[in-house]
Structure formats: structure tokens, C-alpha cells
A = this chain, B = another copy of it.
């Protein structure tokens, strides 16, 4: 008799599936509204949050690879949503900042995100949402598999 593992009971699989379901739903919203990609949305989210950051810092804070950030930033710059400012001390660094247009979009994106999360919590139920929060916090506390 075979020893089986139901995929439905396997945490990594369940996490991926839940994450896809939820984030794709949200991605559909900001893609529909602004035509943004996920790396772009994340970059805006970081810049809106911290005001100004280098590309590396965006990557660190949003868990994105340098190349993704680089491309997202280039695209957002092309839209006129952010500007680059060279660092006077270290000429490798570029300080990025949202433009007025970028901040305006950010404001709307925050609205979108808030109402999305409210709907989500309502739909799953407050206690389940609290449980999810607790579970995710524990995962976040785990040491990363391997730095690179």
C-alpha cells in the first residue's frame, strides 16, 4: 500500500495557492486601473511609504531582485511617476522619489489596497484573518533560507 501525501495538506503548496489567488486578484485591480506590473506597484508602494529610497533599498524592503527593481524604476521614470537624484557623496547611488503625479497615483493605490484588504478580511472572517496574520508573522520570523 502506497504512502501518499495529499497535496492539499502540504503547507508550501497551500501557501502558494492562497498567495496566488489573493495577489492575482489584487494585481488584476491595479493592472486594470493603472496598467502597472507587480514590481512597479511594489516600487511605488515603497517610495510612497518611505518618501525616498535607492533602488537597492526598494529591493530590500520589497523582496525584489535588483533587475526587477531596475526595470520597474525605468518604467516608472518613463511615466513621469518618479525622479532620480544622484547622491553627491557616492556617485553610484540614485535617490528615487515619487513625482507629484506619482504621489497622486500612490494615494489612489492606497485606497485600492485598503478597500481590497477590508473586503478580504470581511470575506474570510475576522478571526480567520487574525489567525492568518499570526501564522504569517511566524513565517516571517523564520530565518531566510539563504542570503544572496
Chain A residues within 8 Å of B, Cβ to Cβ: 2-7, 10-26, 28, 42, 45-46, 48-49, 51, 61-63, 103, 107, 109-110, 113-114, 116-117, 120-121, 123-125, 128-129, 131-142, 144-146
Contacts and interface: CB of A to CB of B under 8 A. Distances in A.
A10 B26 CA distance: 11
Contact of A15 (B23, B46, B107): B23
A133 to B, nearest CB: 7
A45 B7 contact: yes
Work out how many copies of this chain go into the complex: 2
A132 B124 contact: no
Interface of A is mostly: helix
A10 B136 contact: no
